[in-house]
Structure formats: C-alpha cells, structure tokens
Amino acid sequence: MIISYGWLKDYVDFKASAQEIADILTSQLSETVILNQSGNWKNVITAKVNEVKKHPNADKLSLCSVTDGKNTYSVVCGAPNVAPGQIVPFAMLGAELPSGFKIEKRAIRGIESEGMICSERELAISENAQGIMVLPSSTPIGKDLKTVLKNLDATLEIETTTNRPDCINHIGIAREIAAHFRKPVKLPKLKSPKLTGDLKISIKDNDLCPRYIGRKITGIKVGPSPEWLARRLEACGLRPINNIVDITNYVLLETGHPLHAFDLALLDGQEIIVRRAKNDEKITALDGKEYKMDNSILVIADKTKPQAIAGVMGGEFSGVTEKTTDIILESAIFLPSNIHPTTKKLNVVTDSSYRFERGTSWENAEYSSCRAAELIIQLAGGKIEAKKDVYSTKNKPLAIKLRPQRVKNLLGVDLSTNEIQKLLDSLGIKSKKNKELLIAEVPYWRLDISQEADLIEEVARIYGYDKIPATVLPLIPKINESKKDKPIEEIISERLVSLGFCEAINYSFTSEDNLKKYDMHSVEEVANPLSREYESMRPSLLPVLMTNLNLNLSQGYKNIKLFEIGKTFAEHGEKKKLGIIVYGNIWKEWWKFEEFKIKPPSIDFHYLVGIIQNIFREQDISYNKEKPLHYFHPGKFINLLINNKAVGYVGIINPKYSKDTDKEIAYVEIDLESIKWHYKTQKMKRLRRFPKAERDLSLVSDKSITFDQVFDSLQTLVSKLGILESSEVFSVYEGANLGPNKISYSLHLTFRHPNHTLSESEINSAINTILDTLKKNLNVTLRI
C-alpha cells in the first residue's frame, strides 16, 4: 500500500518527518520504506527572473539574470518556458538536488552558470519535466523553497499484512500514528441530510452480500478532478479519470472501503439487483475484457443483465462517462470468502477485490458512502435524492475479556491494568474494568480482533516489541532421558563424504519425460506444476541423480561420486531414500602411477559393494539375487539385506539406460526408513601376541561354485581350527590349463595361536583339514 505522508496530516497532528513515520510504522505495524520524497534538497531558494537573453553559442539555451533580492546571478537555462518576471526555484552553487546532483560552477557552451533553475521533476515534486517550475507571482523571493511550498510530500510503501484490512488506507495508518503519539484521530465530519426520493435495490443472495447501500445523486457534471485530488491519487499510484471515478478512488484510499458509481440512465429499470450470476453469463468489465461467469459468482445486475462483478469490477456498459448526469453510488459488503475464489476463477485482482477479500467494515460502508456523496456534491454539483440501505442482519459490536495477568504470561512483561488500558485506548479500543478483568470493546474497523490473544498483540505492538525483554529459559533435562543414538542418515553421509562422495540435493519433482528414459512413471503428480519439467514426484532418486551425472560429465568431470538423501514417492508412499551414483575410475589420475605402470581401475560392481561394506561396516550385511529391478544389469545386481531385512538395491545400471556413457554406472538405492540399525557396542577381543604364520593356497574349483560358497566353507572352520586368523583372496584365475569350466582362487591364509608359537605340524594339520573339508563339501582341490 502506498501512503502519502502529507495526506496523513489531514487526520492527525504530528511533526515527525517522513523517515521518522516510516520507522514508527516499521516498529509498530509493518515494514515501511520511503518510496519517494520531495523536499530533500539543499540550498534551493526562491528567485526572480530579471532578464532572459539568447545564449550566444546555443539556440535552445538562454542566458538569464536571476535575483534573490540581494544578489543577481547569471544562469544558463535550457527550459523553453523561462520568462522575465517569473518567480522560480533556484538551486544556488553548492546546492544538492534530491537525485544527489550537486550544483557547481560550470561552463555550459562556453558561458559560466552560477546555479540552476529547477523543474518539478528535478525537485522530485512531480513527474513534470516540461520546463521549469513557475511559482505564484506573490511568492516572496530569497526564501528557502521548503518554507514556501506547503504541500511537500513523501510517499511511503507499507507492506500490509492480511490481518489488517483497516490499514490499507490513510485513515487506518493515521490511527496507528495517532496511537504512537497518543493523539486523537480527526475524521472528516459528515452531514446526514433528510432524503425523500426512492431507489429500487434488492438483494437476492444475501448470504454473499450482507449489506448494500445505494445513494442516488442527480444533476452532476462529470469533468476533471481538481488539482489537489488528482495529485493525491497520482501520489498513491492511481491515474485520475474523471471527478466521479476519482472521488470513489479517493475515498477508497482514504477510508479503505471500495465504492462504485453506476450511470443511472444506463441501468435497465433504474434498478439494482444483487444476485448470483447464471452459468455462462457474460459481462464486459471496465478493463474492456469479457468475463464468463458461473453461479458461484455474485453480480450487481439491473433488470436484464449484470452491470458489475460484485466487489471486483464494474461493467463497461454502465460506467460513468462525460455524458453521465445521474448516478447510483454503491457501497456494499461482500462475503470475503466468496470474493477470493471469484478472483481466482476470473484471474483478476483489483484494488476493490483486494480489500473485499480481506474484509470490510459494516460501519465504514455507510461512512464511506456518505463521505463520497458529499465530495461529489462539492466537486461535481448535483444533489443526493435518495438513499437505500438493504441488509439482512445488523452487525453487533464485539466485547472481549482480557486478563491483565494473561498479558504478563504471554509477553513476559508486567504491565498494570491501567497501563494496558492506556495502550489499548490509544488505538481506539475502549475498555472497562470488571474486577480482575478488562472488557474491551472492539472498534468497528478492527475486523482482526476476535479473542484475547489479539488484544495482547495490540498491547505488545503499542508498548513496543523492542521494549519487551529478551530472556532465555534455562534448560532442565529430564532425569530419565535415554541415550540418544546418532541418526543413521548422519552416520551414512559422514562415511560417504569421507570416502570422497559429494552430497546432491535435487527437487522432489521432475518431468515425466525424464522418468520415461528409465521406463519409470510417476505415482504422484502435481496438479498445477510450474511447467511440465516439474510435474512428476520422483518415484526413485535415479532419474535426478542421472541428470546430475550427465551435467557433470558434460562439464568435463571424469570421476563422479554423488549421493542424495531425500524423499521418493512410489506405490508405498513417501519414503526417505539414500541414492548413490558412481562413475569413472576408483582413483584420480596421478603422475606417479605412470612410473609404477598402474592404471586407476574403473568403478565396477565390486567397488560398489565395497562402499556398502564400508558404510554399513558394523551391521550384518547379506544379499540375494532375486528379481533384479529392470534398470539394473541382471548379472550385476543384488538385493541388499541389512540385519536380515531387505532394504534396497545395489548394482550396475542396465547398459540400455547408459548408452551415452562408455563406462559402467554403479547405483545404489536404499530405503533408510526400513533399516533397523544396530547401535551395538563392540566388546574387546583379546590381542594375540605370538607370531603369526602365513601360507598361500591356490585352489581349483568348478565354475558353477561361487566364491562365497568356498569362502563360507572356510569360515565354518574358523572356530573348529581355532588358529585361522584371516583368509584373503589375492588372485582369481581362469585359464585353459585348469581344464574346462574351472576357476582358481589363490588365498592368503594367516594362522596364529593365542597362547604359543605355532609349530610347522600344527599349521600343516590345519591346512590338511581345510583341504579335506573343501574337497568333501565342494570338490575344491589344491591346484597343482
């Protein structure tokens, strides 16, 4: 809302500057900034033009002699309207204009100018840049311009909140300023003449229109508005149209109540009917557009057709024009909760609908109608012939109980009952003491106050938020608090980051096209997406992480390790998932690898499982190969089980979804919510301090037997042998010399006894047991 600083002075006496008013409103109401301020110049005085001569070197410039009564100055002026005898605003040497421009002695086309004659725009008084500003001939010269110009103004922009429709106008803001200075508000006094004429107004749908006031004014003369009124409208960003329309807008800005004037002659039957629109009924509104309505929308109609969309916009047909002589002035109350959907349906928001959907006051409807009617008579002539006020129920003022103790409990400030009363009173909220209570009467303009907490907010605002102390409650822990386990997503991301992964954060939605690339489809879709790019809630993290991967590949990155922890939206609802995508080499390139003839290996399935082993290091990890998901390589895929519970998938992306990349893309998706994390504390194992013995074994197995069968078989012997400390594979080999369908695993075995140094025979006996068992269980033999 744009407010004129000067206009506010009509309603409350104050001396504070525009900046001070902006600061007061910011700390008491809502953030307020100065939009535009005139009068913030330095060293601009009134002066008289004595003489105007042509500039010898420039056709469009003139050479003026200007006097302030004491001295004369020689000034170069470019304005066509400068003439001898004019009283003008004169910026002397050293002056500073609102734009920050400083006046210095300078030569203009070879002739020195000792100052500058200013236009209204240069002084930020108006937008008028058509020549210099000419002051009335009675203006004394040699005076500070600020003392001569009475109507210097500033405009303030106030961020109005939805709860304060009473502050979307000048009187409302004046009330706030009056409250701050504890001063009264002066409202324009209105007469209420007796009227005899009649007016046909009926409300068919009073659920949407509780009150409709019409005033019939006849014999008016439509023309331009007087200067002062047009200026005020312009200051607040409205364009003057004609005196009648301008007055309705002026009163809107003054009191906040939207008004509308119909040309009576153009209303069929000279009648107003407030009714729901018929389905598909049309109206061409004042903006020249045609709107198609339905029966949820309220219209103001005459006998035959809608003449206005109630509370939103008047119709073009019955609008006030130069030819209008008789009008009906509408001041009504429309149901806020109906105006809001109407504006949504018609996709139009007006100054009027903005206020109606926030709420308008019963009493203000009549006050504003009366105020506008008087201004019309004053500025456009004519007379008020009739008034009709149609309503279904009367509005009752609201009284609310306020406990002073509650003010203390909620704000943390101890205010006496008297202090509270004074604070409320400054806002026009009258209250009476009733034992321990205050009974506060809500003034008619305050639609937002409906309970005790609302009154306490008023007390806090006027008392000053900055005066309320700042305290910190001491933390009292509960004695029976349990230990707090670290959330698993924190543990997992910590480990991934330490392994060189970067965390990605993607939007929760993506395009259906992106999903299609991976033969996925969304289960949840946004009904009103920003664009088709963002219509589908991601059912998996894969599509968005693939987008990230491709972006980084296009940026020239060769090794990419990303993870995201975020929500997915699939058949089973919203789930928090971990997605890991890896591409490229296990290590970065390094100059020394060349020296040792090492090439960094490509990321593959076994690397990926290594990541899983690392991040779930203390958990029980197992897997199965059942039903590979379609986007995985069927031979390079596992279902991951953590602590015997299936939690997600680990594998290489099916090459048909990674055609554009030359290496394998490794991907993991885990449902974090289904992990039952074991927060176990590892108990110490006794150290073995006797020397260890190491032996290498090369075994030959049938290829149908998987490595983990061999390894598991070996593991079963650990407790039986008691001395097998570890076993690692150091080579896997397939070759013709082994025979068909054979594979060889070379194992590095470590033996150690807890209590003595192992003898050769103990080691040999253990190896024999191992070989016998492997032979018996799996037909695995020693490679010879």
Partner 1 sequence: MDKTIDLEQLKQKAQQEISQAKNSQDIENIRIGLLGRKGALTDILRSLSQLPIDQRKEVGQKANTLRKELEELFDSKIKEIDNLVISEKLVKEKIDISLPSYPFETGHYHPLRQTLDEIAGIFESIGFSKAEGPEIETEWYNFEALNIPKNHPARDVQDTFYMKKPAKNEKRLLRTHTSPVQIHVMEKQKPPLRIIAPGRVFRNEATDASHSAVFYQLEGLAVDEKITFADLKGTLTLFINRFFGKNVGVRFRPSHYQFTEPSADLDIQCTICGGKGCNICKNTGWLEMLGCGMVHPNVLRAVKYDPEKYTGYAFGLGIDRLCMFKYGIDDIRLFYENNLQFLEQF
Q: How far is the CB of 356 from partner 1 (least distance, A)?
A: 10
Candidates 7-15, 47-55, 337-345, 434-442 — which segment interacts with partner 1 by CB under 8 A? Answer: 337-345
Distance CA 31, CA 444 (A): 25
* Nearer to partner 1 among residue 29 and residue 642 (C-beta): 29
**Binding map of partner 1 across residues 151-190, x = CB under 8 A, - = no contact:** ----------xxxx--------------------------
Residue nearer to partner 1 on the CB measure, 471 or 644: 471
The verdict on 739 binding partner 1 (CB under 8 A) reads: no
Applying CB under 8 A, which part among 185-193, 295-303, 547-555, 766-774 lies near partner 1? 547-555
User: Angle at the Cα of 372 (from 369 to 374), degrees rounded to 5?
Assistant: 110
- Nearest Cα neighbor of 371 from 313, 321, 329 is 329
Identify residues 487-526 at the interface with partner 1 (CB under 8 A). Answer: 487, 493, 496-509, 524-526
Q: Which is nearer to partner 1, 406 or 748 (CB)?
A: 406
Q: What is the 3-state secondary structure (H, E, C) of 399-431?
A: EEEECHHHHHHHHCCCCCHHHHHHHHHHCCCEE
Of 457 and 725, which CB lies nearer to partner 1 in the complex structure?
457
Instruction: Answer for the pair 491, 616: CB distance below 8 angstroms, yes or no.
Output: no
Q: Which of 81, 151, 304, 451 binds partner 1 (CB under 8 A)?
A: 451
Nearer to partner 1, 409 or 716 (CB): 409
Instruction: Using alpha carbons, select from 375, 373, 379, 341 the residue that is nearest to residue 357.
Output: 341
Among the residue ranges 132-140, 207-215, 459-467, 679-687, the one whose residues contact partner 1 (CB under 8 A): 459-467
CA distance linking residue 329 with residue 201, whole number of Å: 12
Question: Please, what is the minimum distance in Å from the beta carbon of residue 589 to partner 1?
Answer: 8
Sequence-separated (6 or more) residues with CB below 8 Å from residue 627: 639
Question: According to the binding rule CB under 8 A, does residue 454 interact with partner 1?
Answer: yes
> Per CB under 8 A, which of residues 583..612 are in contact with partner 1?
587-592
Contacts (CB under 8 A) with partner 1, residues 112-141: none
- Identify the residue among 129, 265, 399, 453 touching partner 1 (CB under 8 A): 453
Of 272 and 504, the one with the shorter C-beta distance to partner 1 is: 504
- Letter for the amino acid at 55? H
Site for partner 1 in 556-585 (CB under 8 A): 557, 559-562, 567, 569, 574
Query: Is residue 679 within the footprint of partner 1 (CB under 8 A)?
Result: no
- Angle of helix 170-181 relative to helix 417-426, nearest 10 degrees, comes to 150
Q: Which of 296, 321, 337, 614 binds partner 1 (CB under 8 A)?
A: 337
First to last CA, the chain: 93
Compute how many residues bind partner 1; rule: CB under 8 A.
84
What minimum distance in Å lies between the beta carbon of 508 and partner 1?
6
* Kind plus residue range of the DSSP H or E element containing 67: strand 62-67
* Pair of tokens at residue 159: 């961020």
Q: Nearest approach, Cβ of 296 to partner 1 (angstroms)?
A: 11
Q: What length is written for the chain?
A: 784
CA atoms of 271 and 642, how far apart (whole Å):
78
Closest distance to partner 1 from the beta carbon of 496 (Å): 6
Q: Which is nearer to partner 1, 530 or 684 (CB)?
A: 530
Residue 470 belongs to what H/E stretch? none
By the rule CB under 8 A, 537 interacts with partner 1:
yes
Q: What phi, psi does 253 have (nearest 5°)? A: -75, -25
Task: List CB contacts of 330: < 8 A, sequence separation 6 or more.
Answer: 212, 213, 214, 259, 260, 261, 262, 272, 300, 308
Say what the alpha-carbon torsion angle 535, 537, 542, 548 is, to the nearest 10 degrees.
Answer: 50
Give residues 25-84 in contact with partner 1 (rule: CB under 8 A).
26-31, 33
Which one, 484 or 597, has the nearer CB to partner 1?
484
Tokens coding 47: 């002066």
Identify which of residues 140 and 500 has a Cβ nearer to partner 1 in the complex.
Answer: 500
The smaller minimum CB distance to partner 1, of residues 37 and 139, is found at 37
Cβ neighbors of 616 (< 8 A, separation 6 or more) are: 642
Nearer to partner 1, 409 or 768 (CB): 409
The smaller minimum CB distance to partner 1, of residues 31 and 618, is found at 31
User: Can you tell me which of 146, 186, 461, 742 binds partner 1, judged by CB under 8 A?
Assistant: 461
Q: Least CB distance from residue 603 to partner 1, whole Å?
A: 12
Of the pair 111, 499, the CB lying nearest partner 1 is at 499
Which of the 8 DSSP states describes residue 646?
E
Each residue 465-484 as x (binds partner 1 by CB under 8 A) or -, in order, gives xx-xxxxxx-x-x-------
Binding partner 1 (rule: CB under 8 A), the pick from 14, 362, 391, 534 is 534
Q: Is 407 exposed, middle or buried (0-12, 13-18, 19+ CB in 10 A)?
A: buried
* Closer residue to partner 1 (CB): 162 or 737: 162
Query: Bridge partners of 575?
Result: 568
Q: Provide, rounded to whole angstroms, the least separation between the CB of residue 104 and partner 1.
A: 25
Those residues whose C-beta lies under 8 Å from the C-beta of residue 139, and which sit 6 or more positions away, are: 46, 87, 148
Of these, 107, 530, 736, 784, which contacts partner 1 (CB under 8 A)? Answer: 530
DSSP state string for 706-748: -HHHHHHHHHTHHHHHS-EEEEEEEEEE--GGG-TTEEEEEEE
Stretch that binds partner 1, among 54-62, 236-244, 331-339, 743-751 (CB under 8 A): 331-339
Name, in order, each residue with C-beta under 8 angstroms of 715's C-beta and a sequence gap of 6 or more: none
Question: Which parts of 409-448 interact with partner 1 (CB under 8 A)?
Answer: 409-413
